[in-house]
Amino acid sequence: MNRRRSLAQLITCLRGELPVTPDWRAILTMANRALVTAQLYEALARTGAVQSLPDNVHGFLREVSERNRERNRRLARQLGEALQALNNANIEPILLKGAAVWASSGCGLDFNRIFSDLDLLVNPMEVERALDALVESGFPVLRYSGKGSHAVATLGRPTDVGVIDLHQRPPGPLGIAQIQDVDFLCTRISWFGGRARVPVPAIQILVLVLHDQFHDGDYWRGGFDLRHLIDIAELSRAPQPVDWLMLDALCKTSLVRNALGTQLLAVEQFLGAAMPPVFTGGRWVRFQHQRHMWQFAYPGFSASLAVVGIVSEWRNLRAHRTLNEIHWREALGLKTEAAGPMLGRAASNVLTRVRRLRRFFSPRVGKL
């Protein structure tokens, strides 16, 4: 079975329906790779379609779902202990990505999403204090990325089932991801024994898009993160409505707006969640979505089609990078007109950029 048909059958199942002639080996292989197997079972159980599954498929999905529920219970305890450690240091972190969606869902321990890690955001001025508090509470630093990275450190104990990524800013371009007054766009919650803050849905969607389309390079390589598409669909249906006007205003460049529209169109096309036509209705966004579908269906042409994407967005890309450079100068305390230091930084980062390009086109956990 070709990749596009396998994806179509998996999407049908995620909508709670059964394909006419399902290839369960292909469906489950793709679901496992995308880390949506537990949500696949939940979607079919919600509509009752799970009762029509072959016994071996039903048993496998149920086993994955039950084991993931237990894993999430352990993650909840881990997160609660980390929040208490930070709270004792007078820090209330902001939950990001999957952790924020979990808190917004109202599902508590019944949340059936598979997690790669837990993402917590603190103010840059709080990073050292946060690290000290977590280490003193028994969370050793597994990797320290440094103050220049959006994710400063990864922490975890041998008994934990996942790691904690400590952020000082959301993932993505500095000029876009550094949201002004983000503290006023969060709700304070008590969760699993600790206190934290959860961004409003519009901020959560922007963070997911910036992470996928720019940090992971999906806008160029044409990848899909089905977990995040499901997250956005759920956020769009949640009791707290998405402020789409705010989300539009947060798109500071045309490139970000196009990337946002492309990801929202994928949510609409795959999961049937209604997205505002102002984001998804343009021909340009539909062209980029179709390019992603071609890259998925014909992975041998993925790099060539990525070049097509870059050429098609060249003018927007230049304007986007100019804005990002300005914000980098501000972050580094450099004058805007002082080109020398930035040219030196750009030259020293050539190898880093090459490594990022190689990483974009390498197999990634949770990516299709």
Give domain status of residue 255, yes or no. Answer: yes
For the cut 90, the answer to whether the pLDDT of residue 48 exceeds it is yes
Residue 268 in any domain: the answer is yes
Average pLDDT over residues 30-37: 96
Of residues 2 and 265, more confidence is placed in 265
Is 304 contained in some domain? yes
Q: How confident is the model at residue 356 (pLDDT cuts 50, 70, 90)?
A: low
Nearest to 220 by CA among 74, 35, 358, 51: 358
Question: What value does the mean pLDDT take over residues 199-206?
Answer: 93
Q: Which of 251-265, 272-286, 308-322 has the lowest average pLDDT?
A: 308-322
Asked whether residue 84 is domain-assigned, the answer is no
In angstroms, the first-to-last Cα distance of the chain is 16
| Least confident window among 130-139, 155-164, 334-343 | 334-343
pLDDT at 173: 65
pLDDT at 355: 56
Residue 76 lies in a domain: no
Does residue 347 have a pLDDT over 60?
A: no
Q: Is 270 exposed, middle or buried (0-12, 13-18, 19+ CB in 10 A)?
A: buried
Residue 186, domain member (yes or no): no
How far, CA to CA in Å, does 365 sit from each of 37, 116, 160? 13, 9, 19
In a domain, 60, yes or no: no
Compute the C-alpha angle 333/338/343, nearest 5°: 95
Average pLDDT in the chain:
88
Angle at 150 between CA 119 and CA 234, to 5 degrees: 40
**Residue 292 belongs to a domain:** yes
Number of domains the chain contains = 1
What residues make up the domain containing 284? Answer: 201-368
Distance in angstroms (rounded) separating the CA atoms of residues 163 and 302: 31
Helix residue ranges per DSSP H, the chain: 3-14, 24-34, 37-47, 55-88, 97-105, 127-136, 174-177, 201-209, 218-221, 226-237, 244-250, 254-271, 277-280, 283-297, 302-312, 314-332, 339-348, 350-360
**Residues 137-170: pLDDT tens digits?**
999 999 998 877 888 999 999 999 999 999 998 8
Positive or negative: CA dihedral 200, 232, 227, 114: positive
- What are the pLDDT digits (tens) for 268-282? 999 999 999 999 999
